Amino acid sequence: MNFKKLAFRIQQTNEFLQQNAVKAINIHITLRNWLTGFYIVEFEQNGSDRAEYGSKLLENLSKNIRIKGLSAPELSRCRQFYYAYPEILGLITQKFKTMLPVDFLEDVMLENNSNQILGLPTQEFQSANNEVDTEFISSVFQSVSYTHFTELIKIEDPSKRRFYELIILKTQPTVKELKRQIDTLTYERVGLSENHRDSMEEVMKKINPQQTTDLIKSHYFFEFLNIGQAHLIEESELEQALIRHLQQFITELGNGFCFEARQKHLLFGDEYYFVDLVFYHRILKCHVLIDLKTETAKHEHIGQLKSYLNYYKKNIQETNDNPPVGILLVTNQNKAMVEYAIADSDLDIFVSKYQLQLPDKSKLEAFINRELKNI
């Protein structure tokens, strides 16, 4: 062995084990979320007190379990995941039973060869199980990240979903690339082509595979491990520096600001959006959402911030809280603009109180201009 070979071996070993660690975590995330959907469906169909919760089941469940990453919309997605892939249960009980809690196995693995599946009638399960290639679904389960699954479960047509599963197994695309393939109707275009094989090969050649680092950036990965997400979102260095300094700047202003979250993600339907900074103001008794854009102000920026405020009103705001407030900071690196999206209110006194307690617009503009000169 020489020095070059020594360095190569260490690098190769590190990369191999890193990939396996990420793969193991993704399998556990997928398993946790599928089982969560399984448990919810079982309760909805057979729970002794299910009538007490009705349409509020997921909201109540989310508040009760208090697990990071399992909000009511996410629980709904877990349920959708179970319905899209019921055959995973047979796979779990055959190949991954050592990863499961013992009581789960006692409840499910059962009297007639694991065919009586909770939440899914026996005949339906047998039919679905006969149609699926066990080895193929095993490869999908072990190779596809849950983030990819969140795109696959939106596809209702099983054949179409199988097509994109195949693309994932063969090319390992990023989630962004997978969405692009779905949005550009790759399945339909290949189906309409004269030579399916050549068309498929042409598609696969154009797909850039994801790297291990892409997987690590998944918010599911961060939430499952309960670690910080400071570098989760790919931003420009300028924006990252501004957010980092702005957090300290706002906190130093005092006036009751309590830092709560950075890059807080919100789930709207099937898409995630991120609020740069979230504070809670103990005097105003409301959340303050700050969104920063390193470009000139656009109409959609204000609309997006107002969507965040409406989300907080509906899902986060407590009974005794006042409506949330949004602050939009926009810069095109030549000038700064600050826009307050003060929550709608018929009581002028609240609006006046907000304006009195929040940072002065001129101070925020001065901060941005100062920071831009230093970066």
Q: Rounded to 10 degrees, what is the CA torsion of 21, 23, 28, 33?
A: 140
pTM over 0.85: no
Q: Is the pLDDT of residue 314 over 70?
A: yes
Predicted local confidence at residue 75, as pLDDT: 93
DSSP class of residue 97? G
Query: Domain ranges in the chain?
Result: 3-216, 231-374
Predicted local confidence at residue 91, as pLDDT: 79
Grade residue 199 by pLDDT with cuts at 50, 70 and 90. Answer: confident
Q: Is the pLDDT of residue 34 over 90?
A: yes
CA dihedral (359, 365, 371, 375) positive or negative? positive
Q: What is the pLDDT of residues 58-115, one digit of tens each?
A: 989 998 998 888 988 899 999 999 999 988 887 777 777 777 766 666 665 543 343 4
- 21-24, long-range: CB < 8 A, 24+ apart: 22/212, 22/215, 22/216, 22/221, 23/142, 23/143
CATH number given to 231-374: 3.40.1350.10
Predicted local confidence at residue 346, as pLDDT: 53
Q: What is the pLDDT of residues 222-274, one digit of tens each?
A: 788 877 655 555 555 666 777 778 888 887 776 788 888 888 888 887 778 88
Q: With pLDDT > 90 as the criterion, what percentage of the chain qualifies?
A: 19
- Residue 255's region, left for phi above 0, alpha for psi from -120 to 50, else beta, is left
Q: Is the pLDDT of residue 42 over 60?
A: yes
Q: Is the pLDDT of residue 133 over 90?
A: no
Q: What is the pLDDT of residues 149-178, one digit of tens each?
A: 999 999 999 999 999 999 998 888 888 889
